Amino acid sequence: MIQSGMTRRALGLGAAMTLAAGIAQAAPDAASYPALMQANGCTSCHSVSEKIVGPAFQSVAQKYAGDKDAAASLMQSIQNGSRGKWGRIPMPPHPNLSQAELKELATWVLSQRP
């Protein structure tokens, strides 16, 4: 009986460790986001693979896949904000970002393929 109790605990611990490892791989840590994205609050509403308030970055990349004007369109949405593209909640504008910063953000988002 002692051995089976120890075996159950070991199996439970192994399952918990496997689950934790899977979660760690599925959810990128904050260090994986560009500093510019963190500094401008993008991660308050967006994540790589899950909808928070706004769409997941992977969903944005998928929507714009094959669109030759995707980066320019996304840059404009980031700078001016957007309304109605992904639901009722508008994305606030970020008018103080430079064109280089807008391009960095748009390029990174578009690289997040599922």
Q: What is the CATH number of the domain that holds 92?
A: 1.10.760.10
State residue 3's pLDDT score.
52
| pLDDT class of 28 with cuts at 50, 70, 90 | very low
- pLDDT tens digits, one per residue of 43-67: 999 999 999 999 999 999 999 999 9
**The total number of structural domains that make up the chain:** 2
* Sign of the C-alpha dihedral computed for residues 43, 49, 55 and 58 taken in this order: positive
Domain enclosing residue 97, as ranges: 33-110
pLDDT for position 32: 64
* Residues 71 and 87 both lie in one domain: yes
Check whether residue 21 and residue 55 sit in a common domain: no
Residues 22, 50, single domain; the answer is: no
Nearest to 79 by CA among 35, 42, 31: 42
Q: What percent of the chain has pLDDT over 90?
A: 64
- pLDDT tens digits, one per residue of 65-76: 999 999 999 999
